Structure 1
Amino acid sequence: MPGRRIRLTLVGVVIAVAVPPFAAGPALAAALPPAAARLALPGCDNDDQLPRAVPAVPWAQKRYALERLAPLATGAQVTVAVIDSGVDKTHTQMKGRVLPGRDYLDPGLDGSRDCARHGTGVASIIAATPTRGVGFRGVAPQAKILPVRVSEQKVIEGKESGKTAGVVALANSIRWAVDNDADVINLSIVYYKDNPALKSAIAYAVEKDVVVVVAAGNQNTEGNPTPYPASYDGVIGVGSVGEDGQVSAFSQRGPWVDLVAPGGAVLVAAPERGHVVDNGTSFAAPYVAGAAALVRQYWPDLNARQVAERLLATTDPAPGTDRDAYGAGILNPYRAVTETAAPARRPAAAGLPPHVIDPAEVARAERRAVTQERALWVAGLAAAVAAVALLLAVVLPRGSRRRWRPAGPA
């Protein structure tokens, strides 16, 4: 994606978290939930109450009417790596969806511990199983989640808390996810300093045909600093909109925004059970990652670039004209799966790398053209020879019988 850079920040479940330009590692971005919505997790430093399941259908699920997609695509046989704060595999809607992953904070664990509640919320938007009596469900409910735990750092009221693995470990985690068969990677993480290891890891994922979806960041009102990995080439940078379709005030603007998705006051699953309302581009990104999983299942012959082109080409029009805020428009998973005209890309859509002309491919095309032209000449000549042969086969015998005298009345 020309001129784009990537950003590393986790944005989600009612916790607002971000990494300042001098930070040494990735951080989560969200907004703290009210006391009644907090939870008590074994081994985690909190004593919050468990939230309850929410029966009402959240606005984002209403917007996308995800049940329409169920007969077409569910994300089956697609693996989405969630590189985040871990993913709780015991939540009712996540059971059976979470693969053994990797923990870069507590080596030896499988990535299913989530003290920050961020990664579980992100993963639930992608793959939460539809459940009776619960209105919330994931975009690709049969996709598999590969959890990779790299940070539980949060910034609350301007203060950082929690562990983080650092940017080099983040880069290593991306490579690990690629090498462990991820088809899509979701990075609801923002880092505000360019880093060669991180940039190289993103390039590695793109080279290996993995769809990389990243959050655009939540610091629009705090100077709108350049986010990484969102501004790196080859990723899909995602901004946030609210229920009215307007870009969220916190959602960062810039050429790194390729499209937008629900991220304002969205419902997500919380570890163990129940749901919480959260805000952030961290939660907009997994809507796009889930849609990418649907496209990868329904159109298995498309490469990662073509999947990205399809997602951008099938967006809904944004209510505003600021391309830095909305990118190509608002995500529409149903159109991304069903439209036959895609992946024709809209003009000037940001984020995707330019098409590179392959000289070998051009030479092959020229050779094919010459071969076809010669074949047409040969076919024409053969037809002419056949016509002459047919003519001689008819005329010569008759002329010989008449001794070459012109025919006349009897």
Structure 2
Amino acid sequence: MKDGQPVDPLPVDNNWAVDGIRPAPSAHTIHHNAYGGILLKSLSKLLGRAVAPRSKSKPVRRLVVLQNASAYHQCLKELKKQGIRPIKKIRSLHAILCRVHPEADIATLKKHPLVKRIDHDRRIRLHRRRISSPLLAAAACAVSGRQTVPWGISRIQAPSLWGRTTGRSVRVAVLDTGIAPHPDLKVAGSFNTIGSGPVVDDNGHGTHVAGTIGALNNSIGVVGAAPRVKLYAVKAFDRNGSAYMSDIIEGIDWCIRNNIQVINMSFGDPTYSESLRDIIRQAYKKGIIMVASAGNDGPRNQDLNYPARFPETIAVAASDSRGRIASFSSRGAGVDIAAPGAEICSTYPGGTYAKLDGTSMAAPHVSGTAALLLRLHPGMTPKGFRSRIRRSALKLKGYSARSQGSGLLQAKKAAQG
């Protein structure tokens, strides 16, 4: 069982609370009561002092989550008056990302009645296994002039559904390193959480993931699980495959506000984040199917990474072409399904193709399947999708549910289930 269950309404987490704090005033109080005005000004002054340059202490990135929308908007106005520009503003969480000084300022901010919590802005890594050389990865995936159906796409039965559905117009976001221009890919839109410039895939991971989801059925290269899907490149990871938690949260926030139907999340971290959990819950309530890679820690670690460990996500383990669970695939009680994740040939920057391993490569097989099924069943919920793929999965002999979940993904059977 994953950590907890999806619930509604969202509970308020008190892990960051300090004994003796007064409850936050209502929105009405903040707008019309002098006490509310004093609180807002005091909060903005505290933030202003916390971000002010100092000679000795080194500032750290913290996500300041406010109690409600009123406090969030009014605090932003007060900060603007002081000439303070936050690093990020995340509307869905009522959160402001700032560089603050790790002395008494953070402790004082935590005690403020309008502050719900303060989260550490951690670094998160992709779930691709390390490759010795991009050139070797490309050489291992030599694609001739004719189109090839990758073994993983065939194994999950996706081609058998293309007479009925190709995932046409279903909106799938690849929350990753970006998607590079490629003759086998068509990108419908993009959003950059780590800069103001255009989205560029300077790593390759996002482009590879995108190809497994939706490489075009165009007689060249490879073909993805849902070749007519609408792909959206949401860049949160840098060229080194690293992202701040706030970048990921901002990316999910963008997906919520832009009617994305499926989010592929081929990354993870062992440390729980309440802010990440909050935004995942909000996306779930909006009906977004979220697919997350389980992790590449193998059997030595019996827990999944987050966000795969959250009950709102579909946690995906990796299998190989011989019908075995990949040795690197993480085990845990929260695994939902297994999908091909070893020696996966897909699109790569520079108009090339590469063969990569990882639960990162398994997750997009499930995301592509979600697009296929959403086209056939437009009202399908995240819960309904989970139920379909789990009850139709093929059990792999010799593996427990902690390794394979319900078994290997079978798209055709899931469509009928």
Query: Equivalent pairs: percent with the same residue?
Result: 27
Task: Return the match for 1:24 from 117, 122, 135.
Answer: 122
* Aligned-CA RMSD value: 2.5
Alignment of 1:310-329 (within 5 A): 310-329=388-407
Q: TM-score, normalised by structure 2?
A: 0.67
- Structure 1 residue 67: Cα displacement: 3.1
Q: What amino acid is the match of 1:264?
A: A
Task: Return the match for 1:128 from 215, 226, 229.
Answer: 215
Q: State the partner residue of 2:179.
A: 87
Q: State the partner residue of 1:46.
A: none
Task: Return the match for 2:143 from 40, 53, 60.
Answer: 53
The DSSP-based 3-state class of the residue aligned with 2:339 is strand
Stretches of structure 2 lacking an aligned partner (at least 5 in a row) = 7-119
Q: What amino acid is the match of 1:92?
A: P
CA distance in 1, matches of 2:385, 2:264: 15
1:232-255 Cα offsets, whole Å, 9 max, x none, are 121100000000111011100001
Contact kept, 8 Å, 1:270 with 1:276, in 2: the verdict is: yes
Contact kept, 8 Å, 1:51 with 1:273, in 2: the verdict is: no
Q: State the partner residue of 1:115.
A: 202
Q: State the partner residue of 1:75.
A: 167
Q: State the partner residue of 2:380.
A: 302
Counterparts in 2 of 1:51 and 1:327: CA distance versus 1, 3 Å? closer
Contact kept, 8 Å, 2:184 with 2:215, in 1: the verdict is: yes
With a CA cutoff of 8 Å and minimum separation of 6, indicate the structure with the bigger relative contact order.
1
Contact kept, 8 Å, 2:184 with 2:220, in 1: the verdict is: no
Which structure has more strand as a fraction of its residues? 2
CA distance in 2, matches of 1:38, 1:139: 21
CA distance in 1, matches of 2:300, 2:249: 26
Q: State the partner residue of 1:157.
A: none
Q: State the partner residue of 2:3.
A: 3
Q: What amino acid is the match of 1:131?
A: N
Alignment of 1:28-47 (within 5 A): 28-30=126-128, 31-32=130-131, 34=133, 36-37=135-136
Alignment of 1:150-229 (within 5 A): 150-152=236-238, 162=240, 164-220=242-298, 223-229=301-307
Contact kept, 8 Å, 2:194 with 2:247, in 1: the verdict is: no
Counterparts in 2 of 1:163 and 1:250: CA distance versus 1, 3 Å? closer
Task: Return the match for 1:105 from 173, 189, 194.
Answer: 194
- Structure 1 residue 77: Cα displacement: 1.9
Give the structure with higher Rg (CA).
1
Task: Return the match for 2:158 from 66, 87, 93.
Answer: 66
- The answer to whether structure 1 residue 147 and structure 2 residue 233 are counterparts is yes
CA distance in 1, matches of 2:363, 2:298: 16
Stretches of structure 1 lacking an aligned partner (at least 5 in a row) = 7-21, 40-48, 154-161, 343-410
